Amino acid sequence: MKKNLDASWDTILSDIKEKLNDAEFYKWIKDLKILTFESNIITLKADNKFIKSWVEDKYLTKLKSALKEFYHLECDIKIVLSDITHQKKAPVQGNSQIEITKDDTDVDYYSVQLNKDYTFNTFVAGKSNQFAFSVCKSAAEGFDKLNNPIYIYGDVGLGKTHLMHAVGNQIRLNFPKKRVFCITGQLYKDEFLTSLKKMQMDSFKEKYSAIDVLLFDDVEKIVGGAGSTMEEFFFLFSKLYSDEKQIIITSNALPEESIGMDKRLKSRFAGGLIAHIGVPSVDEKVTILKSFTTQYGRTMSDEILYYLAENIKSDSTRDLIGAANSAFVQSKFHNVELTIEFLQNNISSLLIKRDKTLTPQDIIDIISEYFRIKLVDLKSPSRSKNIVIPRNLAIYLIYKNTPSSLKGIGEIFNRDHSTIKNSISKIEQDIENNDLYTVNTLNELSKKMKIFSAK
């Protein structure tokens, strides 16, 4: 019975995760375990009081409405503590306040905001993030004045938060006594203003000044609003910096281009190591997708991964992963194979719109120009290698990119449908075996097709 309950709860969690684009919410609820479901009350177990209050304050309403929306389940949710011994530690007051007891275990409470899934192992390094990746790796191996502060900037969804948490997780492993604290600019501002209002500035300052590693996400969010958040942050920054504590900051802009940011802070940031994260190339996108699909057991063919990487409208890696995930879940839900046609029909709003649809003749023209082969040769019975390869590629691309049937393609190439099928299988096999020549050529050809159809 309990096993069934666990399994249902796991299903609920994974459904909620698929449907809610809210990593923060999922992060907090995924470690709650289900105890009972009786008389329309779900009882969940939290590992400590801090998690309990945090979820109660911030996510309970959301969780309830998700259950209602997805399952028409109207129920109450109770959260209890799993272990009485935890209750004395980490007393919590207010919503975003984290009060910490000053004993050895407080390192755990400082690190409670770290996302355990964001590690170096799950981060794909490439041209677009190489420098940021290297400085973060080295910061995780040990403190070096020259590596401080690290300022990572770039557009949304490109991996800044992931990389910063990876440093935090690695430092926790390498230096278990260090207090690694991670906070977003927005939460810091909220917490500062609440502490000010409640006249709890002493404990606020005490908590922050005890940090060994400060991971400060989306620093641009401290700009604006009432009060002197930036002033307070300037003092904190200066203190930690002069105490030789590691500081990592992420932002959406270069220090000098940060609108509204305090001048002194801008100049402090500019004195650090500045690392940009850019948009990944198609190959990097494919590697990121492979890492994601392997990590979450969402197997997809290279063909689909390349198609997604090449055709995704958004530059954000978050959206790229989201698109792959959505396509995978939908194909499972409909119980059909994940093909390019399926992507075109089911996630078209996420993909680049082609102004012009390609015809079989367009593809033949692209191929004959690329390989410098005459059209008659492509359609001829010749079995010479330098004709067979382009012909197979043309057949494959026509089959994948136009609504032509095997029979229809056969008519173009003067062949029967089983020969056409063999040509397609040959290319599919090459892709599966990761045959470099075929994969690279297909890459080049699809770039040309993309340019052609955008004309």
Q: Which residues bind ligand ADP (CB under 6 A)?
A: 122-124, 129, 154, 156-162, 288, 291, 317-318, 321
Q: At its nearest, how many Å lie between ligand ADP and the CB of residue 255?
A: 17
Please answer whether residues 223 and 263 qualify as being in contact, where contact means their C-beta atoms are separated by less than 8 angstroms.
no
Residue nearest to Mg ion (CB): 161
Q: At its nearest, how many Å lie between Mg ion and the CB of residue 134?
A: 20
| Alpha-carbon Rg for the chain in angstroms | 27
Residue 288: closest CA among 261, 253, 312, 264:
312
**Residue 400 binds which of Mg ion, ligand ADP, none (CB < 5-8 A, kind-dependent):** none
**Residue 138 binds which of ligand ADP, Mg ion, none (CB < 5-8 A, kind-dependent):** none
Residue 216: closest CA among 172, 175, 167, 278:
167
- Measured in residues, the chain has a length of 455
Dist. CA 101–CA 373, nearest whole Å: 75
Q: At its nearest, how many Å lie between Mg ion and the CB of residue 159?
A: 8
Q: At its nearest, how many Å lie between ligand ADP and the CB of residue 98?
A: 21
Neighbours of 352 (CB within 10 A): 14
**Residue 321 binds which of ligand ADP, Mg ion, none (CB < 5-8 A, kind-dependent):** ligand ADP
Q: At its nearest, how many Å lie between ligand ADP and the CB of residue 122?
A: 6
Q: Which is nearer to ligand ADP, 54 or 123 (CB)?
A: 123
Q: At its nearest, how many Å lie between ligand ADP and the CB of residue 442?
A: 24
Residue nearest to ligand ADP (CB): 159
Outline where 210-338 has alpha helix (H): 229-242, 263-270, 282-295, 302-311, 317-334
Q: Is 154 helix (H, G, I), strand (E, B) or coil?
A: strand
Neighbours of 83 (CB within 10 A): 10
Q: Which is nearer to ligand ADP, 155 or 365 (CB)?
A: 155
**Residue 390 binds which of ligand ADP, Mg ion, none (CB < 5-8 A, kind-dependent):** none
- Under DSSP, the state recorded for 411 is H
Q: At its nearest, how many Å lie between ligand ADP and the CB of residue 342?
A: 23
**Residue 42 binds which of ligand ADP, Mg ion, none (CB < 5-8 A, kind-dependent):** none
**Residue 358 binds which of Mg ion, ligand ADP, none (CB < 5-8 A, kind-dependent):** none
Q: Which is nearer to ligand ADP, 305 or 420 (CB)?
A: 305
Dist. CA 139–CA 299, nearest whole Å: 34
**Residue 236 binds which of Mg ion, ligand ADP, none (CB < 5-8 A, kind-dependent):** none
**Residue 157 binds which of ligand ADP, Mg ion, none (CB < 5-8 A, kind-dependent):** ligand ADP
Q: Which is nearer to Mg ion, 27 or 49 (CB)?
A: 27
Q: Which is nearer to ligand ADP, 124 or 222 (CB)?
A: 124
Which positions lie near Mg ion, rule CB under 5 A?
A: 161
**Residue 158 binds which of ligand ADP, Mg ion, none (CB < 5-8 A, kind-dependent):** ligand ADP
Q: Which is nearer to Mg ion, 252 or 301 (CB)?
A: 252
Neighbours of 348 (CB within 10 A): 12
Q: At its nearest, how many Å lie between Mg ion and the CB of residue 217?
A: 6
Q: Which is nearer to ligand ADP, 160 or 178 (CB)?
A: 160
Straight-line distance from the first to the last Cα atom of the chain, in angstroms, rounded to the nearest whole number: 61
Q: Are strands 76-81 and 41-46 parallel, antiparallel or unpaired?
A: parallel
Neighbours of 17 (CB within 10 A): 17
Q: At its nearest, how many Å lie between ligand ADP and the CB of residue 215?
A: 11
**Residue 124 binds which of Mg ion, ligand ADP, none (CB < 5-8 A, kind-dependent):** ligand ADP
DSSP for 339-408, please give it.
-HHHHHHHSGGGBPPPSSPPPHHHHHHHHHHHHT--HHHHHS----HHHHHHHHHHHHHHHHHS---HHH
Q: At its nearest, how many Å lie between ligand ADP and the CB of residue 126?
A: 7
Could you tell me the strand order of the sheet in which 76-81 lies? Answer: 33-38, 41-46, 76-81
Q: Which is nearer to ligand ADP, 99 or 315 (CB)?
A: 315
| Omega within 30 of 0 (cis) for the link into 149 | yes
Q: Which is nearer to ligand ADP, 329 or 340 (CB)?
A: 329
Dist. CA 53–CA 137, nearest whole Å: 34
Q: Which is nearer to Mg ion, 163 or 309 (CB)?
A: 163
Q: Which stretch of DSSP H or E encloses residue 67?
A: helix 60-71
Dist. CA 279–CA 276, nearest whole Å: 10
Q: Which stretch of DSSP H or E encloses residue 193?
A: helix 185-197
